[in-house]
Structure 1
Amino acid sequence: MISVLIVEDDPMVAEMNKFYLEQVEGFQCKGWAKSVGEALIKLADESFELILLDIYMKESNGLELLSALRRGSKRIDVIIISAASDKDSIRDALQNGAVDYLIKPFEFERFLAALSAYKEQHFLFRNQDSLDQSELDKLTGYRKEPSTVQDLSKGFTRHTLRTVWKAVETHNANSFSTEEIAVSSGISRVSVGKYLAVLADMGALNSELTYGTIGRPVQRYRMSSRGSSVISKFI
């Protein structure tokens, strides 16, 4: 089991993170600290392998803890879970070795992806003395950019991609949902959702979750600045 320390000053958020953590096999929450000071005390007394770290806390800034860890001799991995979305905080976190960065609010699927990727990395480093290029590429997230429609995914066609993209272009710089593209393109919502997800992965679209007053959050998309150039090779 991978031992985890949650560093978060909001008890309700800390409890939610713990609940999410308990849904992922292979992890165990062994402690909670509501400030950098408390975290340092716990780290001195107990052994942890992973920290789920908030940045904006009332008494301290989580990046101080991350910097302190990197200056010290302990090898403890950190995943940032924070509302901090400014580029300076993100850059500082990544440059100080955070293995992932989740911006609040997030969905469980993103949390699961972060923990699953970390678990694979953790056991790979623990069990192997060296890595080959394919294993390293997997850890660093390197993916060969697809060059044809067939490279995108099994079942994708140029005709459907062209139809979806034409519907996307009608929105120009405005955001849109899967449902809106399905209506305007005449393609099923499930199929449109798959195409939009791939287009977002390719960088042709930007995606964001929007929260209304009622119901679940909605995934919305917007054409990226390089969307047309990315899609041109496929359609």
Structure 2
Amino acid sequence: MINVLIVEDDPMVVKFNKYYLEHVGGFQLKGVAASAEDAFKILEEDPIDLILLDIYMPGMDGLELLSQLRKTDKNIDVIIVSAAKDSASIKKALQNGAVDYLIKPFEFERFNSALSSFKNREKFMNSSKNISQEELDKLLLHNEKPSNLESFPKGVDRNTLKLVWDKILEIKDTAFSTVELAVLLGISRVSIRKYLNFLEEINVLKKELIYGSLGRPIYKYKLLKSNTNFINRYL
């Protein structure tokens, strides 16, 4: 497991980061800090492999925290998760060794991509003594080819698909709308719609037009239980 520290002073952002972290897999949240001072206290007490770091914080900001961290002997990676999108902040973060930079607000797919790439890199680095240029390029340029034989439509990610599918299986006897599933998962309606369209295309979901009490029609989806095995090739 990769030990993670979230450094963020916005409770709502902390809540979403925790939720997303739980659904990526392979990561263990060791602590949450609302300031650089609190973060350094946790770093002294717990072994941390990765910090999800905000920039805008009271007192010492995230960039200064990152700079101070690099002056220590701690071998800790950092992914910036911040609303700061000016080129100076991004450049300084990368110069100080941030392995990725997520600009708020972002979709789960981008968060998942950042964490999955980090996890794959760590696994590969820990299992290899010598690395070829081709292998290094795959790690640095994120151009790994999918291991599955089946291809995905643009915008559909395997890990997010599994997250959506698991939630659908939980509510398998209940028809649901795009909005209802989006709320349950904390993912935008636009993103959810891509996955529901895909699941409908491979014939594991059926879409029906239902009229509410006020006569306003709404599309709802129902699981086709007899076809659930169709999705296994994609997961």
> What TM-score results when the alignment is normalised by the length of structure 2?
0.61
Amino acid at match of 1:28: Q
Residue 25 (structure 1) aligns with: 25
Residue 140 (structure 2) aligns with: 140
Q: Does 1:125 align with 2:125?
A: yes
Alignment of 1:39-78 (within 5 A): 39-78=39-78
Question: 2: CA distance between counterparts of 1:107 and 1:131?
Answer: 32
Cα 1:30/1:142, change in 2 over 3 Å: closer
Task: Tell me the SS of whatever aligns to 1:80.
Answer: strand
Question: 1: CA distance between counterparts of 2:54 and 2:142?
Answer: 27
Question: 2: CA distance between counterparts of 1:59 and 1:15?
Answer: 22
User: Could you tell me whether the CA contact under 8 Å between 2:117 and 2:142 is conserved in 1?
Assistant: no
Question: 2: CA distance between counterparts of 1:217 and 1:36?
Answer: 35
Residue 101 (structure 2) aligns with: 101
Identity within the alignment, % = 57
Cα 1:142/1:34, change in 2 over 3 Å: closer
Question: 1: CA distance between counterparts of 2:4 and 2:86?
Answer: 26
Deviation at 1:132, TM superposition (A): 0.9
User: Could you tell me whether the CA contact under 8 Å between 2:81 and 2:104 is conserved in 1?
Assistant: yes
Cα 1:104/1:58, change in 2 over 3 Å: same
Deviation at 1:34, TM superposition (A): 0.4
Alignment of 1:1-235 (within 5 A): 1-141=1-141, 194=154, 216=189
Deviation at 1:73, TM superposition (A): 0.5
Task: Tell me the SS of whatever aligns to 1:56.
Answer: coil
Deviation at 1:128, TM superposition (A): 1.4
Paired residue total: 153
Residue 205 (structure 1) aligns with: none
Which structure has more relative contact order (CA 8 Å, sep 6+)? It is: 2
Q: Which runs of 5+ in 1 are unaligned?
A: 144-154, 156-189, 196-214, 219-235
Amino acid at match of 2:126: R
Q: Which runs of 5+ in 2 are unaligned?
A: 144-150, 156-187, 192-235
Task: Tell me the SS of whatever aligns to 2:24.
Answer: coil
Cα 1:55/1:130, change in 2 over 3 Å: same
Residue 225 (structure 1) aligns with: none
> What TM-score results when the alignment is normalised by the length of structure 1?
0.61
Deviation at 1:87, TM superposition (A): 0.3
Deviation at 1:60, TM superposition (A): 2.6
Task: Tell me the SS of whatever aligns to 1:32.
Answer: strand
Deviation at 1:94, TM superposition (A): 0.5
Q: Return structure 1 stretches of 4+ with deviation > 3 angstroms.
A: 215-218
Task: Tell me the SS of whatever aligns to 1:116.
Answer: helix
Task: Tell me the SS of whatever aligns to 1:58.
Answer: coil
